[in-house]
């Protein structure tokens, strides 16, 4: 399982990368994309949407199932990965780089710091 050490993780298998003090990038983990199988569609909200941690922000559809996406922390969407509308398979091919889903201007840095570290996520995913 590929779990980059510089990211934070959620129990819903999302990853969060700190870009700077106020902005993070969000996507789904290698474990999640592998469980879903071939991703055929990604539905994301518009920039400007304000998210609350734990609420649904979109859907990923695959040949196996549809799965909700959950906001890892509070924030406002500043950008979405437009490329996923035409090439959703990027989530399978490169979940931690080309497969990113959205960028958030975060409301509370402490929420990011409270997410799981890579070792904690590896342990959680193995259970």
- Domains of the chain with bracketed CATH: 8-126 (2.40.50.100)
pLDDT at 1 over 80: no
Summarize the confidence of residues 40-64 as an average pLDDT.
96
Q: Which DSSP helix (H) or strand (E) runs through 90?
A: helix 90-93
pTM: 0.95
pLDDT digits over 61-110, tens only? 999 899 999 999 999 999 999 999 999 999 999 999 999 999 999 999 99
Report the relative pairing of strands 66-70 and 56-62 from DSSP bridges: antiparallel
What pLDDT does 83 receive?
A: 97
Instruction: With beta carbons less than 8 A apart as the criterion, state whether 49 and 77 touch.
Output: yes
What pLDDT does 127 receive?
A: 86
The residue written with tokens 């649904």 in the block is 56
Model confidence at 56, in pLDDT bands (50, 70, 90)?
very high
């Amino acid at each position: 399982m590929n779990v980059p050490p510089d990211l934070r993780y959620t129990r819903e298998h999302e990853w969060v990368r700190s870009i700077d003090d106020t902005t993070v990038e969000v996507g789904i983990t290698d474990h999640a994309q592998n469980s879903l199988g071939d991703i055929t569609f990604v539905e994301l909200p518009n920039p400007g949407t304000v998210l609350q941690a734990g609420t649904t922000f979109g859907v990923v559809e695959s040949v196996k199932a549809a799965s909700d996406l959950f906001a890892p922390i509070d924030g406002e969407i500043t950008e979405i990965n437009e490329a996923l509308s035409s090439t959703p398979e990027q989530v399978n091919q490169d979940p931690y780089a080309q497969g990113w889903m959205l960028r958030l201007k975060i409301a509370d840095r402490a929420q990011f710091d409270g997410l799981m570290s890579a070792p904690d996520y590896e342990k959680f995913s193995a259970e």
